[in-house]
Amino acid sequence: MLAQRLVRQLCPHCKEKYLKTREELSSIPDFPLESWEKSVTLYHPRGCMRCSNTGYRGRVGVYELLFISENIQRLALQKASTKDIKKVAVAEGMITLREDGLDKAKQGITSLEEVMRVIL
């Protein structure tokens, strides 16, 4: 099972570094704070000649990949809710769209704003 969203990729020529603290992130509802350090370096789009002043160039996929384990199969057979299945999947190490998106923001591939716009 695979879900995918496209987010805009930051222009590597003009993206701007900034520091985001946990406190600032805590205002975002349902933010998975536990997986974040005290403060994180993220990037803002700025805009230059190479990206027609948009701050973005191209798109990149954000993925959710669910490995169908025996537990998941059993739940599916029992007609468990999607929510319950997802809970088990996350416990078994599934990377959610949100996690993959935030990871790509941490890597400077896209911006937090873009991840929130498309996924959160």
Q: Which residues bind Zn ion (CB under 5 A)?
A: 11, 13-14, 48, 50-51
Q: Is 79 exposed, middle or buried (0-12, 13-18, 19+ CB in 10 A)?
A: exposed
Task: Tell me the closest approach of the beta carbon of residue 89 to Zn ion, in angstroms.
Answer: 37
Question: Smaller CB distance to Zn ion: residue 14 or 94?
Answer: 14
Task: Tell me the closest approach of the beta carbon of residue 74 to Zn ion, in angstroms.
Answer: 50
* CA–CA dist 47, 56 (Å, integer): 7
* CA–CA dist 63, 75 (Å, integer): 23
Question: Smaller CB distance to Zn ion: residue 13 or 74?
Answer: 13
Nearest to 116 by CA among 1, 8, 37, 2: 8
Task: Look at the alpha carbons of 70, 82, 114, 5 in this order and tell me if their dihedral is positive or negative.
Answer: positive
Task: Tell me the closest approach of the beta carbon of residue 114 to Zn ion, in angstroms.
Answer: 14
Give phi and psi for 53, each to the nearest 5: 60, 20
Task: Tell me the closest approach of the beta carbon of residue 117 to Zn ion, in angstroms.
Answer: 19
Question: Smaller CB distance to Zn ion: residue 46 or 87?
Answer: 46
Question: Smaller CB distance to Zn ion: residue 51 or 85?
Answer: 51
